[in-house]
Structure 1
């Protein structure tokens, strides 16, 4: 560590914070889905528990980018960690106090915390990579994004395991205590004001003025809505109902999926930047169209009852690989296109669209699955991906 530059040390601390937060975020999501489904909540009611989580994520990304540019990304990251500790503490109350509205409020704090943390981590990369080093930028973004999702998968597994070994409230207290230690270390160690704009942005500048970023944001909204419309509520409940899996198996399987997804994200630059080809916005069109085929194939297999367990599991693996490439490419493009001075403004606006897509996908996941089943969720997913691909055709030729 002594031989590393201050910038790299700061980035490692930011990444460590992001990793620790991600573990609790993934575990919390799995704990809420499994625990409240166990209590008798319907799929739509479980989805509604995440309504404020996703809704407040939309506003957090929009206003968080402004705060990051004004205050510095270290401060917004530490605020996010503190809010997650409070949210976990709220959910550690006895089950009798966990009304639907109360859980939604706690989830709102967790959603604010998650998006402050993510926006801070993603924006900081722009400040630590020399201008013009696009290959290095893509590599660093891919590693951060991929490792985050791999750890989110570990968090899914952790959530299922904690629920099997401890009570829901015990799991909350364990995670809150661990994250509190990370938060205290971050306050002491994270000192550099990464991302603090030289020219203080005005509040009205929170909306992006860049046509390219607006287009990329719209594509991102549909892309992540397409994932969550069948992955957030429909898939865990379907695995539990159709296959008879218990909490441990559901959490473990989804954990492995997310871990593999994260690993593919980390290697995405090697898959896209092949034979001297540098990733460009037009690549988003090709990879989105490729992804749109997969949900239709899975839905068809389920409809004709063709090797349902195998078709679903293999389809999930292929979807995970292609979605990981799409996500990693998008994450690179936004950081590359963002204005270096006050980078968090553009990144925050972009992830606001990401959060809006997750919100739409989460609500639809509960409603469509409860009303029409998993096949309908897969068809909606494919339509959303097609929309992302068509929107991406309007991106400029070069980032």
Structure 2
């Protein structure tokens, strides 16, 4: 049956399959690390530091990875990412006495490089498989890939909590490494070798985007993802366990539900933003959705600060936040692929996801530090400030004529 499909569709399915498997293990690994080291007595700031190199090397990887993808082909960058994730998981399968902070940070650094090589390759590949004149189809394919990825990342959070309870930390990372090994073998055999390779070899000095629209979108993306991770990465899982008394499965289950719902909304974002009426979104749509998210976040932060039904406000409020954030993220993901140049698309996409990774890095560090110093309400107010900045920046995004 697969042989009867168009070649571009088969390649899209293979890229998506690689991305799905990688994302599932990446989400599980994040939850494993947070919960396992919290059980060992690490503070929220110490746990945040474990992800410091993961996010920092994500910044570097997106910048350099886009250049490598344009020169070498997206198949190679995707396969290198899979191989590095397998190695990072193997590093964490050592006896628990070896799991010092520097060792885990080094493994997380490799995982961060692997994750962003894989993501940049997958997002860039879509641009090469969809003709420029089919912007509606491009939006739909990007939304499906992004939405399914986040649904699986949420499933990964739940999987991480379950694996930790059943197989233990070392058994869990070994099982995930084994799955990714088989995915890598399939990718090496079937993924096309010239996908995404630029016709002219881009020079290293061309790493930084010269497009104003991409620069503005990248700045807005940085604050958008900083606003999410400042409460989501470290503060929220620890808060749910320490203040509400939730166990590992409950924490993992809630975060999984949040990200899965977020992923489903991303997949339906084209319908929500008007594609069903033949509309393709522009900068004005990104601005309006950013403003809506800012208002909702301010309301959640105020509710938590005054202590009004905190469990209800956090659970329901963050589900609403997730739905609106999902539309924002999906709009951005479409706009970057739309703005990017067709030849050497990974250069522009890599620069944009470098800003995305920078936002996550800032959010991760602040998540541990602000939560330790001032609590969850303060994290949410920082999130509100970041979203306000993202909204102001989005005013400069191009509109349709």
The TM-score normalised by the length of structure 2 is 0.98
Provide the rounded CA distance (Å) in 2 between the counterparts of 1:104 and 1:303. 33
For 1:343, which of 330, 345, 355 is the aligned residue? Answer: 345
Aligned partner of 2:367 among 341, 365, 368: 365
Q: Is 1:142 paired with 2:143?
A: yes
Cα deviations by residue, 1:249-296 (Å, 9 ceiling, x for unpaired)? 100110011000000000000000253332111111100000011222
Could you tell me which residue of structure 2 aligns to residue 272 of structure 1?
273
CA contact (8 A) 2:140 2:270 kept: yes
Q: Retained in 2: the 8 A contact 1:137–1:332?
A: yes
Alpha-carbon contact 1:10-1:192 (below 8 Å) kept: no
1:333, distance to aligned residue in structure 2 (A): 0.1
State the secondary structure of the residue aligned to 2:90.
Answer: helix
User: 2-side partners of 1:277 and 1:179: how far apart?
Assistant: 39
Counterpart for residue 208 of structure 2? 207
1:79 offset after TM fit, Å? 0.1
The corresponding residue for 2:312 is 310
Q: Give the aligned partner of residue 190 of structure 1.
A: 191
Alignment of 1:227 onto 2:223: no
What TM-score do you get using the length of structure 1 for normalisation? 0.99
Give the match for residue 327 of structure 1.
329
Q: Once structures 1 and 2 are overlaid, which stretch shifts more, 389-398 or 171-180?
A: 389-398
Equivalenced residues, count: 399
Tell me what 1:43 maps to.
44
Matches within 5 A, 1:357-396: 357-396=359-398
Matching residue of 1:353: 355
* 2:399 match: secondary structure: coil
Rounded Cα–Cα distance in structure 2 between residues aligned with 1:198 and 1:178: 35
Deviations 1:21-80 (A, max 9, x none): 000000000000000011000000000000000000000000000000000000100000
Unaligned runs of 5+ in 1: none
Distance 2:400 2:25 in 1: 37
Give the match for residue 130 of structure 2. 129
Is it true that 1:105 corresponds to 2:106 in the alignment? yes
Separation (CA, whole Å) in 2 of partners of 1:15 and 1:24: 14
CA RMSD of aligned residues (A): 0.9
CA contact (8 A) 2:76 2:193 kept: no
| SS class of match (2:398) | coil
Are 2:60 and 2:354, in contact at CA under 8 Å, matched by a contact in 1? yes
Tell me by how many angstroms 1:304 deviates.
Answer: 2.1
Alpha-carbon distance in structure 1 between the residues aligned to 2:174 and 2:348: 36
CA distance, structure 1, for counterparts of residue 388 and residue 286 of structure 2: 12
Residue 282 of structure 1 corresponds to which residue in structure 2?
284
Q: Which residue in the other structure is 2:27 paired with? A: 26
Report the 3-state secondary structure (helix = DSSP H, G, I; strand = E; otherwise coil) of the residue aligned with 1:199: coil
Runs of 5+ unmatched residues, structure 2: none
CA offsets per residue over residues 225-250 of structure 1, 9 Å max, x none?
00000000000000001110111110
Contact in 1 for aligned 2:24/2:152 (Cα 8 Å):
yes
224-233 or 271-280, larger mean C-alpha shift: 271-280
CA distance in 2, matches of 1:185, 1:37: 36
Q: Deviations over 1:125-148 (max 9, x none)?
A: 001111111111000000000000
* Structure 2 residue aligned with 1:92: 93
Counterpart in the other structure of 1:161: 162
**Structure 1 residues 183-207: Cα deviation after superposition (integer angstroms, max 9, x where no partner):** 1111111124211000110110011
Residue 306 of structure 1 aligns to a residue in which SS? coil
Q: Is the 8 A contact 1:69 1:344 kept in 2?
A: yes
Deviations 1:138-186 (A, max 9, x none): 0000000000000000000000000010110010100001111111111
Q: Deviations over 1:65-112 (max 9, x none)?
A: 000000000010000000000000000011100110110000000000
